[in-house]
Amino acid sequence: MVSKAYNNPEYYEIALSSLRNVKKEVDFLDKAAKKYSKVKVYSMMEIGCGNSPYVEEISKKGYQFVGLDLNKRMLDFSKTKAKKKEVDIKTAYANMLNFKLKEKVDFCFVLFGSIYRKNHEEFLQHLKCVSNSLKKGGLYVLHMVIEGDVNEIEGKFIDYSKRGNIKVKVEYEKRVIDISRQLLQENLTLFVNDNGKKIKLFEPNIYNFILPQEFKLMIKQSDFEFLDWFDGFNINKKFDGLRKCEYVVCILRKK
Ligand SMILES: C[S@@+](CC[C@H](N)C(=O)[O-])C[C@H]1O[C@@H](n2cnc3c(N)ncnc32)[C@H](O)[C@@H]1O
């Protein structure tokens, strides 16, 4: 039987490690907080945090990390990892489409487009939940949620990562399965070699893709104001919505 990739956080962490530049990405979040937030930022919440790859760097900058996820294994993994690094974190076991935190956070972010929605209604529902759990004037940073290049909506890549004696081959593919409902099928497959033991992990998902101009219209219907968007985690390189870019990083602020 093939297991799910998200139920195996230790392998998922290794698999995605080569695709990140944690320092650069957290620097971006820090700069955004300082430049655009209307509230003083003490806490940063990652939506769909998974293995919480940014915990240590966020804590180094002096912020309290909060991780929200619907997978207990991912949350337990994040807590154990943070404990080893002597970092204090908070977690929320919740569905990102239907949640309200008891204590509001100052800043939210989501990585790798991890908003699990099947249509625009669900996206708006998600924004409502984030808004209910975020202080007024606080930011929501979205990475890879908006398509920046029509040629990148579909695609496939293969990558290789290694940690100690564990090697992981990553295969990722996404293709349009329903153009009228803007639905994409994505498949993440991890081929793990753990000290000679071979394990295959699979994570399929169907989600709806969002184009730049409809994103702006949807934001007008939400509790957020659109502030700006960028070509990657580079606060000096703006995305203008016209020229293609590899991936969009967008900053919203709660009104
Ligand atoms: C692609 S992983 C992203 C993990 C991490 N943010 C990263 O940068 O690698 C997506 C995560 O979202 C979580 N997730 C999926 N659907 C969710 C939902 N409806 N509510 C909360 N978390 C969800 C999964 O359990 C998984 O840990």
- Distance, CA 144 to ligand 1 centroid (Å)? 14
> C-alpha distances in angstroms, 72 versus 50, 187, 191?
9, 22, 23
Mean pLDDT throughout 78-87? 97
CA–CA separation, 102 vs 194, rounded Å? 41
At CB < 8 A and 24+ separation, what contacts does 198-203 make?
199/3, 199/8, 199/11, 200/2, 201/2, 201/3, 201/4, 201/5, 201/8, 201/11, 201/12, 202/2, 202/3, 202/4, 202/5, 203/4, 203/5, 203/6
State the closest ligand 1 atom to the C-alpha of 116, by its place in the atom list counted from 1: 16
Is pLDDT at 79 greater than 90 in this prediction? yes
Q: Label residue 70 by pLDDT band (50, 70, 90).
A: very high
| Spacing, Cα 114 to ligand 1 middle (Å) | 6
pLDDT band at 240 (very low <50, low <70, confident <90, very high): confident
| Ligand 1 neighbour 16 (Cβ under 6 A) | yes
Look-up of token digits 């919480």: 52
| Residue 2, pLDDT above cutoff 90 | no
Q: Per-residue pLDDT tens for 193-230? A: 999 999 999 999 999 999 999 999 999 999 999 999 99
CB count within 10 Å of CB 179 equals 7
Residue range 85-133, pLDDT digits in tens:
999 999 999 999 999 999 999 999 999 999 999 999 999 999 999 999 9
Looking at the predicted structure, is the pLDDT value of residue 243 above 90? no
Q: What is the largest CA-CA distance in the chain?
A: 53
- 54-72 average pLDDT score: 97
CATH of 7-147+210-254, one of 3.40.50.150, 1.10.260.40, 3.30.1330.200, 3.90.550.10: 3.40.50.150
Domain-by-domain residue ranges, the chain? Answer: 7-147+210-254, 150-208
In angstroms, rounded to a whole number, what is the distance separating the alpha carbons of residues 234 and 25? 8
- Reference 17, options 143, 159, 195, 222; nearest CA is 159
CA of 71 to the centre of ligand 1 (A): 8
The answer, yes or no, to whether any atom of ligand 1 lies below 6 A from the CB of 92, is no
- CATH class, range 150-208: mainly beta
Nearest to 2 by CA among 253, 201, 220: 201
Q: Which ligand 1 atom sits nearest the alpha carbon of residue 99?
A: 20
What is the average pLDDT score of the chain?
A: 96
- Per cent of the chain over pLDDT 90 is 93
With residues binned 3-state (H G I as helix, E B as strand, rest as coil), the percentages for the chain, rounded to 5, are 30, 40, 35
Q: From atom 13 of ligand 1, which residue's Cα is the shortest distance away?
A: 48
Six-digit token pair at 93? 């076991």
User: How many of the other CB atoms lie within 10 Å of CB of 156?
Assistant: 10
Q: 241 C-alpha vs ligand 1 centroid, how far in Å? A: 27
pLDDT of residue 23: 96
The whole-number pLDDT of residue 244 equals 75
Is 80 a residue whose pLDDT tops 90? yes
* Cα gap 254→132, rounded to integer Å: 10
pLDDT digits (tens, 9 = 90+) for 123-169: 999 999 999 999 999 999 999 999 998 888 999 999 999 999 999 99
Q: Is the CB of 91 under 6 A from ligand 1?
A: no
**How far apart, in whole angstroms, are the C-alpha atoms of residue 158 and residue 224?**
36
Q: Which of 1 and 231 is assigned the larger pLDDT? A: 231
96: Cβ below 6 Å to ligand 1? yes
Best residue for ligand 1 mutational test, from 6, 57, 110 (most atoms within 8 Å of Cβ):
6
